[in-house]
């Protein structure tokens, strides 16, 4: 039987008075990639932020490798093996490319990812390692954001809107590398506006609509129409 990595039960979250999640549950096994889809404001990013500890106003259970982590702070959760590639990349502008990567490895969990492995995956970053991260193109910045998250050797990688603001050719390059990135037993949750791409990259999907799960399962178990209905709530 597959080993459960992440088990979320009845997760509710809010920003002030605005409720963002109304009781979301999900289970993710080791080595699986889950595509999280839904329209803008459906609660996808909030769910990722809850998992990695960036949303404090929440209730429900988040179990990771059997440990309850919902009350832990973000800097503790990363040590347990969860890393986020945030929406909009959010690199540290006053740090160089290499410094961004090195900081990602501060937690120093054991694993295959280190500076050399990241430079092997994205050779362009080695050339630009001493440049300020702001001097890079959008696609290169996304590579740094992915590399920075991998440097902590996570067991669960949360990828938030990888393709946002990037040229189609760059998006294709990054998605071509995805199997290599999440290979080796790593699990991933992929939030993506491009539904087709997300479903093609994942073994399971979950569709959120206004903070509730509207559909979930394996992509081939549901018709295109059913997924569209769940997405738009029609």
Partner 1 sequence: MEWVNAIIQGILVGGLYALFAAGLSLIFGVMRLVNIAHGDFIVAGSYLAWILVRATGLHPLVSLILVIPIAAIFGYVLQMVIFNRTLGKDILPPLLVSFGLSVILQNMLLETFTADSRKLDAGTLETGSFSILPGVAIGYFPLLMFGTAIAVIAGLQYMFYHTALGRSFRATSDDKEIALLMGLDNRKVYAAAMALCLAVVALAGVFLAIRSNFDPFMGPGRLIFGFEAVIIGGLGNLWGTLVGGVILGVAQGLGAEIDPGWQVLAGHIAFLAVLAFRPRGLFPRMT
Which residues of this chain interact with partner 1, rule CB under 8 A? 52-54, 73-75, 78-79, 83-84, 86, 90, 92-95, 99, 102-104, 106-107, 148, 152
Closer to partner 1 at the Cβ: 54 or 170? 54
CB-wise, 90 or 180, nearer to partner 1? 90
Contact 109, 81 (CB under 8 A): yes
Under 8 Å between Cβ of 146 and 85? yes
Say how far apart CA 153 and CA 139 lie, in whole Å.
22
- Of the pair 133, 209, the CB lying nearest partner 1 is at 133
Considering the complex, what minimum distance in angstroms separates the CB of residue 45 from partner 1? 13
Please state the φ and ψ torsions of residue 153, each to the nearest 5 degrees.
50, 60
Q: Among residues 8 and 145, whose Cβ is nearest to partner 1?
A: 145
Cross-strand pairs, 18: 15
Determine the 3-state secondary structure of 42 from DSSP: coil
Q: Supply the minimum distance, in Å, between the C-beta of residue 56 and partner 1.
A: 11
Residue 123 C-beta: closest distance to partner 1, Å: 24
CB 17 to partner 1: min, Å = 17
Q: 21: which DSSP letter?
A: E
Question: What are the structure tokens assigned to 85, written together?
Answer: 């590639």
């Amino acid at each position: 039987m597959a080993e459960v990595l992440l088990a979320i039960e009845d997760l509710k979250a809010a920003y002030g008075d605005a409720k963002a999640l109304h009781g979301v549950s999900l289970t993710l096994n080791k080595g699986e990639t889950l595509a999280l889809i839904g329209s803008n404001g459906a609660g996808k990013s909030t769910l990722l932020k809850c998992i990695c500890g960036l949303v404090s106003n929440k209730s429900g259970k988040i179990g990771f490798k059997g440990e309850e982590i919902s009350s832990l702070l973000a800097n503790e959760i990363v040590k347990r093996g969860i890393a986020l590639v945030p929406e909009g990349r959010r690199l540290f502008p006053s740090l160089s490319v290499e410094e961004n990567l090195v900081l990602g490895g501060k937690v120093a969990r054991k694993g295959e990812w280190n500076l050399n492995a990241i430079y092997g995956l994205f050779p362009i970053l080695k050339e630009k390692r001493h440049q300020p991260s702001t001097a890079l193109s959008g696609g290169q910045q996304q590579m740094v954001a992915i590399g920075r998250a991998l440097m902590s050797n996570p067991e669960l990688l949360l990828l938030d809107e990888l393709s946002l603001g990037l040229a189609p050719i760059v998006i294709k390059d990054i998605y071509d590398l995805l199997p290599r990135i999440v290979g080796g037993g790593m699990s991933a949750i992929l939030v993506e506006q491009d539904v087709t791409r997300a479903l093609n990259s994942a073994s399971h999907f979950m569709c959120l609509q206004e903070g509730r799960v509207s559909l979930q399962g394996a992509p081939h178990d549901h018709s295109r129409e059913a997924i569209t209905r769940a997405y738009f709530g029609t």
